[in-house]
Structure 1
Amino acid sequence: MKGYFDDRQWAHDPQNFMANGALLPNPEQPRRIEILKAGAEAAGCVFETPKDAGLGPVAAIHTAEYLTFLRNIYTRWRRIEGAGDEVIPNIHPANRTDGYPKSAVGQAGWHQADTACPIAEGTWEAAYWSAQSAIAGADHVASGSSAYALSRPPGHHAFADLAGGFCFLNNSAIAAQRLRSKGLRAAIVDVDVHHGNGTQGIFYARGDVLTVSIHADPARFYPFFWGHAQERGEGAGLGANLNLALPRGTDDAAFLAALDTALKRVDGFGAEVIVVALGLDASVDDPFKGFAVTQDGFARIGAAFAKTGLPALFVQEGGYVSDTLGANLTRALEGFGGI
C-alpha cells in the first residue's frame, strides 16, 4: 500500500491542553509519527512525500477567514504582553452569529472550540502538510488503488472555520472533497472513539458525501454536543449522516456489528470510494479508555473495509501512545490486505 507523509508534520509539538480544569501534558505528541510510520511499514506500506497541491483543496473545505487566522495567529499572539507560549482561548462566543472581533484573543475564542487545540510556532506548517498528505492519498486512490495518509496532526474535529480536539484542518473532509472534484462518489466512515463532529458539520447540509461515525456515546464523552442518533443531516444532506453511538467499553463484537451497519449504509449510498477516518483510540490500551477493541479487532475492521471491494483511503485520526499503537495500525492495514 502506498503511504504519504511529509517531515514538516513534525513541526507541531503541543505542550499542554486543559481537561477538567487542569493543565495537562498534550497526548497528541510528535512521537506518534515514529510509532505510526513503523506500524504502517510493518504492514508493507511504502511512503512517499506528498507534492504540494496548494491551498486550493484546503480552501475548498475551510473558510478564507479561518485559514488566515491559522497562518497568522501565533505571530499575533506573541505580541501580547504576558501571553502564554501557545494560543489557547479563554473566551468563546455564545453562537456563530455573534460579532467577529479584531482582537487575537477574541479570534482565538471564535476559531478554537476548546482548550485541546493549542497553536504554537510550527502548527500551521504541520497542519498544512498533514492535509497535503491526505490530498496526495486521495489522488492516488482516485486511480483505483488504496492508500494510507499519516495525517498528523489529525483533523476530524475541525469544522470549516473552527479547530478543536487536537485538530486544525479536516484531512478526511479535504480528501473526500478532492475525490468529489474528480467525479467520485465518496463516503467517510469514521472509526475513531470520538465522534467526527467537524466532519459531520462540514457535510451536514450536503447530500453528495456520506458521513458515518462509530464512536463512544457523547452523552458522557467528548465531544458531548455532537454525535447523537437524531443528527441525520439537514436540507440536501438529510439522511446522509449516520451516527452510531456505542457504550463505553464496547468490545470487538459490538464494534464490528456497528461497522456492518455502517457499511450497509455505504452500499446503499452507492459510494465509489471510502475515506476511512482511522482513529486507533478505540483500542483497549488507548489512554482515553473509551472502547476495548483488540489487535484482532483492528484486523477485522480492516478486513470489513476490504470486503466492500471499494478503494479506500485510510486517513490517520486519533490513537495515542500505548504499547500497542503501532501494532494496531499494522493489523488494520494487514486486515485490509493492501500490501
Structure 2
Amino acid sequence: MSQSDVRLRGIKKQYGKLDVIHGIDLDIEPGEFVVFVGPSGCGKTTLLRMIAGLEEISSGDLSISGERVNDLPSSQRGVAMVFQSYALYPHKTVYDNMAFGLKIAKVPKPEIDRRVKEASAVLQITEYLDRLPKALSGGQRQRVAIGRAIVRDPKVFLFDEPLSNLDAALRTKMRVELKTLHRRLGATMIYVTHDQIEAMTLADKIVVLNKGRVEQVGRPLDLYTSPASLFVAGFIGSPQMNFITGEFASRSAASTVGLRPEHLKVDANGPIVGTLKHSEQLGNETFAYVDAGVLGEITARMDGTLMLAPGSAIALGFDPEHLYRFDSAGKRIS
C-alpha cells in the first residue's frame, strides 16, 4: 500500500458570495491517520470533498504526493472515498461490489480477483463474497465499502462519517477495526466525524474545525491537555469542560476559566459549593450535576458510586494546575 502526503495551501471555498472555507493551510504526512472534527456546519465534509475532487476549490493549492491536483478529476487523484451511506449496489454480490470499479477501469480479471480476495481477507469478509448486501449486517456492509476502496490501492483513503449509521456497540468495534486496518495498510487516511470520541481514539492528528477555519491541529492528548481556545476546550473531552465566568474567573486573571469534570473531587473545603441536582451512577464512575449558584451548573466525574441524594449539599475542589484560563476573545492564556 502506497503512502502519500497531502498539502493544503490557502484553500478556500465560496458559494457565490458566501465564504464557507477560509484559507486553510494544512500538512498531512505520508501514512498519517488524520481526523477532521467539528460541529455540523463547520466545513469538515466540504473540505474532504474538495480533497476528493467532488467539490471545486475556489482558490488555493491542493497537492497529493507533490502533484498539484486542483484541476484533476476525482478519478485521477489517486483517492478512494468511503461514505456514510455505504453506497453498495443491492443487486450485486459482495465480490462484484468490490470488483466493479476495477472492471470499469479495465483491470485484468486475474488482477481483480487477486485484489478482491486479498482485501476480503484483510477485512475478514471472505465468507460473504457470494452474498448480496441485504444479507449483511451494517458492520459487514461497511467492511465491503472499505474493501471497495482498498482494492483500488489509492494514495489516500477518505472517510466521510463512515460509522454514524451503526449502533453504539458496533461503532466501538469498528473503531478498533479501522485503527487495526490502518496499522496493517500503513496508508494515508483522512477521516471526518462530528464525534470527538472517534477523533480521540482513531487519530494520529486531529484537525478541529470551526466555521470554516482551523481552530487547532495536534495529537489527541495534546488537544485534550493544551486546548488553544474555549472552542477546542469545550469540544474535546466528554463530559464537556465546565466554564465559569464572573468574579471566580477574575480572581484567576481571566475572562473565563475551565475545569474538566474529571479534575473535580468532593472536598469539604473546596471553593465550589452547591447542591447536587442529579447523579448518574455507571458502576465504575459517577457523573454528578451540581447547582453551584452564580457559578452555574457544574459537572463532576468521579470514580465509583457517589453516596449522596439529590438536594444534598456538596463542595468540590481541584488542583490549581488543572485550571484552564481564557481571555475575552476565547484564547487560552498560558
Using the size of structure 2 for normalisation, the TM-score is 0.31
Larger gyration radius, structure 1 or structure 2: 2
Which structure has more strand as a fraction of its residues? Answer: 2
